[in-house]
């Protein structure tokens, strides 16, 4: 037992992990069973650690039921991309796989990963093999382990970006599970060693729950650092990276009706020199591994471990385990958690084009052939592609001579649109209905049409370029970080949403519940007068989230983040 405390009532997931033989379970057998498109129940849990979720086509659910067919089982596959940086060659492979095996779209996620949707069981292995051949992986993009490590994707104005990105990659690699199950199952590698698998960091039952790490370089908080279990905020002195402020205990998921669950921002607990980042991360993960709740998965994130025992206890335990005391945090300032669009020149004299990708869905539709455009660009591009934490894309490291070609391709495919409002360009939505089994309401497929209507209000009030950030999720798990939206909408039921207001524009303050169970008409009726007084009465540079609090429209959240001094 790797737990400091032997916990009673271990959850079903814990039992499955324990008997899984380091994440093998019977996945191999499940894949070979031709009688169903699904996996054995335990393998449905275990395959997450390998980077895939078993789902079913929710749109076809009742039709298939009527025909007495099993649901149309299909798989989501998530690709790990630390800091969101990929090469054009890798892009071409992912593009090809999404057409060959998936639903002909690529999803850029809120954590800088790629997702394929709609992969059938028989196509899982070839998909994962091809991903690995292009030197990417799906290992540990899901499951009770450290997930994709986020990092500011845009190096403009930042001399230290490459160094921080290097640390993000190092963290990502260091915390990968060490089991060889992944290689055996997906890459047909024989188990070479007779030594049994071991997980020096995670031990044999892994973590109690998912674990998320991000790194941010102020003044940009486009990774929403405070939404992570563990965050590192880069601190510069004389233009050199000296280390990081450490923040712990972020997590946004909650469950309607369960008051013990809540969104929480990470607290800033101190500073670590850059040479000790891995040591600090390993120690934080070790505390969560040993003390995290393993009986109730709704209460098992690091935020709960900290709230159960107190932040002081946590810092004390961290210092004892480290054998040195974490230092006082340095001052830092974030200005925004959004993306800056269009061309920007980097500190390396190369150009970066940030492209708005509505809710991260790369697809083709009439007059807007984004998937085709990006494939054409990947065929000629000598730089890289960088996924942002806001589901957008940066075409990076472009030389001056290639700028025009890239712009021509984007224009030819109907991608550049100067009419988009700041509201739309600051919108995020999670996948929700269609594929997500946890969704109560639409999100990605609905927010664009809601914004069409909100845009009319925005334009009438002269706010075209105001980057008010609006985020929607199909349930309170908060995958598009709606708790950090200046306007947050969370699905309650088909066509009904809770409306939240008052988050900060830089990701350091949660929003609060304004009204519940709103229809589209209600949402528009509630927001129209608020947007209109915002247009008339906002102070210079005052953001929407700050304005609604100053005017008393909503109270500030009662869960502020703490900065220990």
Both structure tokens of 391: 């589901």
Q: Binding residue for ligand SF4 (CB under 6 A) from 431, 454, 523, 548?
A: 431
212 is catalytic: yes
CA distance to 217, 350, 456, 521, per residue, from 528 (Å)? 35, 42, 10, 11
Please name the residue that has the structure tokens 């970066």.
352
Q: Binding residue for ligand SRM (CB under 6 A) from 11, 30, 52, 113?
A: 113
Catalytic site residue from 289, 303, 475, 509: 475
Q: Binding residue for ligand SRM (CB under 6 A) from 252, 280, 362, 527?
A: 252
Under rule CB under 6 A, which residues in 442-481 are in contact with ligand SF4?
443, 473-475, 477-479
Give the DSSP H or E segment for 395.
strand 393-398
CA distance to 24, 137, 185, 365, 515, per residue, from 47 (Å)? 9, 14, 10, 32, 38
Alpha-carbon dihedral angle through residues 268, 269, 274, 279, given to the nearest 10 degrees: -130
297 is catalytic: no
Q: Binding residue for ligand SRM (CB under 6 A) from 30, 74, 90, 115?
A: 115
Q: How many residues does the chain have?
A: 565
Catalytic site residue from 436, 471, 481, 509: 436
If binding is defined by CB under 6 A, does position 254 make contact with ligand SF4? no
Catalytic site residue from 147, 303, 471, 509: 147
Residues 393/357, Cβ–Cβ less than 8 Å: yes
Catalytic site residue from 45, 48, 107, 212: 212
For residue 198, count other CB atoms closer than 10 A to its CB.
11
The DSSP code for 270 is E
Separation of alpha carbons 154 and 85, rounded Å: 10
Q: For ligand SF4, which is the closer residue by CB, 289 or 361?
A: 361
Alpha-helix residue ranges (DSSP H) falling in 21-60: 27-32, 41-46
CB of 314 to ligand SRM, least distance (A): 18
Separation of alpha carbons 558 and 303, rounded Å: 16
78 is catalytic: yes
If binding is defined by CB under 6 A, does position 142 make contact with ligand SF4? no
210 is catalytic: yes
Nearest residue (beta carbon) to ligand SRM: 253
Question: Collapsing DSSP states into helix, strand and coil, what is residue 96?
Answer: helix
Q: For ligand SRM, which is the closer residue by CB, 128 or 241?
A: 128
Residues 483/265, Cβ–Cβ less than 8 Å: no
479 is catalytic: yes
142 is catalytic: no
Residues 393/339, Cβ–Cβ less than 8 Å: no
454: left (phi over 0), alpha (psi -120 to 50) or beta: alpha
Q: Binding residue for ligand SF4 (CB under 6 A) from 280, 302, 393, 439?
A: 439
Q: Binding residue for ligand SRM (CB under 6 A) from 145, 248, 326, 436?
A: 436
Q: Binding residue for ligand SRM (CB under 6 A) from 76, 149, 501, 549?
A: 76
Catalytic site residue from 479, 481, 492, 509: 479
> Which residues form the interface with ligand SF4 (CB under 6 A)?
430-432, 436, 438-439, 443, 473-475, 477-479
Catalytic residue set: 78, 147, 210, 212, 430, 436, 475, 479
> Which residues form the interface with ligand SRM (CB under 6 A)?
53, 55, 76, 78, 109-111, 113, 115, 141, 147-148, 210, 212, 224, 227, 251-253, 301, 360, 391, 430-431, 435-438, 477-481
């Amino acid at each position: 037992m790797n737990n400091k405390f032997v916990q009673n009532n271990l959850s079903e997931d814990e039992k499955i992990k324990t008997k899984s033989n380091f994440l093998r379970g019977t996945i191999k057998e499940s894949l070979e069973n031709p009688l169903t498109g699904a996996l054995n129940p335990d393998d449905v849990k275990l395959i997450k650690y390998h980077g895939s979720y078993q789902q079913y086509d929710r749109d076809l659910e009742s039709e298939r039921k009527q025909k007495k067919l099993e649901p149309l089982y299909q798989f989501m596959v998530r690709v790990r991309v630390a800091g969101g940086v990929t090469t054009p060659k890798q892009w071409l492979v992912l593009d090809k796989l999404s057409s060959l095996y998936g639903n002909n779209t690529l999803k850029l996620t809120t954590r800088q990963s790629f997702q394929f949707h709609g992969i059938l069981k028989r196509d899982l292995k070839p998909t994962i093999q091809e991903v690995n051949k292009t030197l990417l992986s799906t290992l540990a993009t899901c499951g009770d382990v450290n997930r994709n490590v986020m990092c500011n994707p845009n190096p403009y104005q930042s001399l230290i970006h490459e160094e921080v990105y290097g640390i993000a990659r190092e963290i990502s690699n260091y915390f990968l599970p060490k089991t060889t199950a992944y290689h055996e199952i997906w890459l047909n590698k024989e188990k070479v060693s007779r030594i049994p698998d071991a997980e020096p960091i995670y031990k044999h039952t892994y973590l109690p729950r998912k674990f998320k790490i991000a790194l941010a370089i102020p003044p940009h908080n486009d990774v929403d650092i405070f939404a992570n279990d563990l965050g590192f905020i880069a601190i510069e002195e004389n233009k050199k990276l000296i280390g990081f402020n450490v923040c712990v205990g972020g997590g946004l998921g909650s469950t309607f009706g369960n008051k013990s669950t809540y969104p929480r921002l990470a607290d800033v607990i101190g500073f670590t020199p850059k040479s000790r980042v891995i040591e600090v991360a390993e120690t934080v993960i070790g505390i969560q591994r040993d003390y995290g709740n393993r009986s109730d998965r709704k209460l098992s994130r690091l935020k709960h471990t900290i709230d159960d025992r107190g932040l002081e206890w946590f810092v004390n335990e961290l210092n004892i385990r480290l054998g040195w005391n974490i230092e006082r945090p340095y001052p830092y300032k974030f200005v925004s958690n959004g993306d800056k669009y269009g061309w920007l020149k980097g500190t390396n004299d190369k150009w970066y084009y940030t492209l708005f990708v509505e809710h991260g869905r790369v697809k083709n539709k009439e007059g807007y052939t984004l998937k085709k455009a990006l494939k054409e660009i990947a065929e000629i591009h000598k730089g890289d592609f960088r996924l942002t934490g806001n589901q957008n894309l940066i075409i990076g490291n472009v030389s001056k001579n290639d700028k025009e070609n890239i712009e021509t391709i984007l224009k030819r495919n109907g991608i550049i649109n100067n009419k988009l409002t700041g509201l739309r360009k600051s919108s995020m939505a999670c996948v929700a209905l269609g594929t997500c089994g946890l969704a109560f309401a639409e999100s990605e497929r609905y927010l664009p049409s809601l914004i069409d209507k909100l845009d009319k209000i925005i334009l009438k009030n002269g706010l075209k370029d105001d980057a008010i950030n609006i985020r929607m999720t199909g349930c309170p798990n908060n995958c598009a970080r709606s708790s950090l939206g200046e306007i947050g909408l969370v699905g309650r039921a088909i066509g009904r949403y809770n409306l939240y207001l008052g988050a900060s524009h830089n990701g350091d303050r949660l929003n609060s519940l304004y009204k519940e169970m709103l229809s589209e008409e209600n949402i528009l009726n509630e927001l129209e007068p608020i947007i209109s007084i915002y247009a008339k009465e906002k102070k210079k540079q005052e953001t929407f989230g700050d304005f609604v609090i100053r005017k008393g429209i909503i109270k500030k959240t009662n869960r502020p983040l703490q900065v220990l001094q």
